[in-house]
Structure 1
């Protein structure tokens, strides 16, 4: 039987999902229960169970809300020059801005994401939902890599994602948690990475 959740986008559904993410970051997976969400959100007992009947439904609501909030870190309207062919320099600006926002404004959201990713390795039904939800970010990134001149945008997008994920983990949960790079430092790192991948095609990445 499919997990039952309330329609996403309603104020109470968003409150429940946001509270679930906050609890994951603060207490870990064991601290996420329907009752804990009710208490932390200031909702009447049973409210979370009414919106997400099962634990699977609650986890799916958290994953769905995570994707919504991550998509809002850098909106499409903030990068018109890149989408319109603004060149490699603009691409570096966009990538550095997005990553810096993650590290400085959304580090707790990253911790919640790691909790959900680990849980997905133990729950096949959550794995499928997690992958399907997160997969919608790969297409736009592949398009950006193609715009930058990549002959293999999918492979290069994977390399870029792996570099970003490693840096985010180090700064959000690893040994560099007290030393977040500046936007300029991130921009330099992206430039070095992309020049290494794209070779002569990276002439505009300055």
Structure 2
């Protein structure tokens, strides 16, 4: 669980604790009472902040998005049109930082994603939070010369998601690719997509 600092609000503490519970205990371990206990808050504090389970899940999704954005910061991304080498290096650096220092965030994201498949109301909220990451990639792909930036952004996201799952919960969970290896993989993907034949 993220330590509380003077700048951390009670709402952030509750959401951070919810993410920690998802990582440690899974969806069944996330309850209002468990959040109160793990966060060291008076009983009923979480219920006052998020009265329903859906409200608690929505708070967790919003905090998940905020914390992932702090890892995959837009400032690390090159400006559109900088070139494939700069884009490749930035993507590899961001993904390597995520895999080496924030694996717990990936586990909580997978828990929330699976729950969203069972709750249509959470699905809409989860998808809206995800657009903050997808839309900049579409713009970057368009600036890089893609004639189908939406499709190429989806391929880029799918490639990244597959690597993250494999390194955190899949067959490569015991090892993390080096930044150099990730850069090579992104380079192959991007050059392959953008140098390929024009779409029919």
Q: TM-score, normalised by structure 1?
A: 0.89
CA contact (8 A) 2:142 2:149 kept: yes
Give the deviation of 1:149 after TM superposition.
Answer: 1.4
Equivalences for residues 127-206 of structure 1 within 5 A = 127-199=123-195
Distance 2:74 2:103 in 1: 21
Runs of 4+ in 1 over 3 A off after TM superposition: none
Give the deviation of 1:104 after TM superposition.
Answer: 0.7
Give the deviation of 1:32 after TM superposition.
Answer: 0.2
Give the deviation of 1:84 after TM superposition.
Answer: 5.6
Would you say 1:38 and 2:43 are equivalent positions?
no
Structure 1 127/84 Cα, relative in aligned 2: closer, same or farther at 3 Å? closer
Give the deviation of 1:200 after TM superposition.
Answer: 6.4
**Structure 1 portions without partners, runs of 5+:** 1-8, 202-206
Compute the RMSD of aligned alpha carbons. 1.5
Would you say 1:91 and 2:87 are equivalent positions?
yes
Equivalences for residues 46-125 of structure 1 within 5 A = 46-79=44-77, 82-83=78-79, 85-125=81-121
Which SS does the other structure have where 2:71 is aligned? coil
Aligned length: 191
- Determine the structure 2 residue equivalent to 1:3: none
Equivalences for residues 5-20 of structure 1 within 5 A = 11-20=9-18
**Residues 88-137 of structure 1: CA distance to partner in whole angstroms, max 9, x if unpaired?**
11101110011111111111100000000000111111011111111221
